Copies of this chain bind each other. A is one copy, B any other.
Amino acid sequence: MARSNTLKYIILGLLTRKPLTGYDIKQTFDKEKAEFWTAPFSQIYPELNRMLNNDLISLLPTSDTNTRKKTYQLTAHGREVFQNWLQLPLAASESTLDNDNFILRLHFLGHTDPTFLKNLLALRVKTLNLEITQLEFELTEVVNHPEQYGRELIIKKELANKKSDVKLWKKELK
């Protein structure tokens, strides 16, 4: 996922909830990473400084002067950039939504915006159905090749996963 600057948007997303330090952000990654993402300090701290320079975040003023701790909060600009990024996949007509971009956005949603959630789920279901059609086709091709038995198992796994996802999101859309 090069060039998409994912880390920046994850940090923005985490800061929409509450102000955090770089250390807090790393803790959150370690706790939630299984379904999500991870990044080392050496990536987080430089990114925070870049974001500070770009006016996406600002230092939370603190009376505690004798500590090196830096707590960051979103600026108005940062909040706007994050909202635009959230909406991005829904902007283009005829668009699709891959799993990473879907998961990334879903992660930050609560119960507050059910319409947006439904749009996101609907677009993902549409994309999944396209992928399922393609995989069904690939399966018919590979069954004649016993030397690609491993690949056949992978396709079956992917099909089962995607069908399970469609079922889950459709349930949520009701």
Contact = CB atoms under 8 A, between A and B. Distances in A.
B34 A110 contact: no
A-B pairs, top 5 by smallest CB distance, nearest first, are A109-B150, A110-B147, A106-B150, A35-B154, A161-B161
Given A36-B151, A107-B154, A157-B165, 10 more contacts: A17-B147, A105-B150, A107-B151, A108-B150, A109-B149, A110-B147, A153-B172, A160-B164, A160-B165, A161-B165
Interface stretch (A19-27, A52-60, A88-96, A130-138): A130-138
Interface bin, chain A: 35 or more
A114 to B, nearest CB: 10
Q: Tell me whether chain A's interface is mostly helix, strand or loop, or mixed.
A: helix
A148 interface: yes
A111 interface: yes
**Copies of this chain in its oligomeric complex:** 2
Contacts of A112: 147
A156 interface: yes
A32 interface: yes
A138 B110 CA distance: 17
5 contacts: A34-B131, A36-B151, A110-B150, A157-B165, A161-B164
A115 to B, nearest CB: 14
A103 interface: yes
Given A160-B164, A161-B164, A161-B165, A155 B110 contact: no
Interface in A105-149: 105-112, 117, 131, 134-135, 138, 146-149
Contact of A156 (B103, B107, B168): B168
Contact of A135 (B34, B134, B135, B157): B34
